[in-house]
Structure 1
């Protein structure tokens, strides 16, 4: 029995790895944001950098571009694809002059991708609506998050803002990884303002222990003018 369980687990692990690699190869990945040395660069407007992977002898195994002009490619294939990592043997960048996107080119093509014999870790997360996200972690610990869709401001806000626990008994935590919070408001179910503050940072906690049991809303307003409304239950 134990032997059978072992083989079942081994099969499941191999299927997960196969699925990850298949997803990696069968999508064009649009860059959403990068975190380089702790600094975040978010892509919400054109140009939209992208990367594709090919397990093929007649194409670049890895090909990335910012605006279709200069590009990064694996010039000495084959790239080694594993279930949660890939190794680029000889990654190079074309030497044409950049025009209006020099900083973005340098960060994505240069800092994130360029180099020799570099192993990148990756993770692909699939959502019920068919969207997928690809997170690539460089050997230096920098991060590039992609999707098989274009990122909107609303999607970025939802993905980077965490409000927990829910239901809550005493303290409600608000965390925004990429967006700067300007103001927080708490409303009752009827829209009555209960609490507001502007003295906050990207990690903030609200004491809700004095609230009666029920449903409330917290509104998080960001420095760029966008906001995020989230329902929570006080137990």
Structure 2
């Protein structure tokens, strides 16, 4: 009887977790506005932003987000309400050099965590306005982050001189550049942990990702001229 009851509890919890709005996980979100202490803060309108995508994942329970630089968030999704708790917020970096983008990224990071700690819990609401989706996340202080399902700027996920494909990848990931010779490539997971580091001396190296678990990863490549490039990819 105890075993059956235990299985029923697991089934109910799993059902409740999946019962959250599936659009949260099915949609790629783009940050449109922060409201901090009742002040509206909008993303700088720049031509190149390295990380403007936000994705939510159930397995593993994480958020991939950022603006000019990236960060990963380990989360615990509520089984009852449209909310989650952030267990850790890890800065994954990037190649951001524009001061306006750096300042906005700092404001965005502080929406989740600052010197006082992580601002749990976070509640969210998804609105469908004639086919256009919006996501509003609120932290414990009442600050909000507003996202849409379309980007506001002309952006690319990877650095202009670096592309990775296929993305998502099943096994072999190709790194391509028409201008750079890469000497090292390092891969990090959303927890900021280094999971792979390789040395090359070529502009189009390949990486066997067969041993990586399914999830989102960030790739940092350094050229023979000491330039750094970054990209995000998904391992199936």
Q: TM-score range by the shorter chain?
A: 0.3 to 0.5
Larger Rg: 1
**TM-score, normalised with respect to structure 1:** 0.48
**TM-score, normalised with respect to structure 2:** 0.48
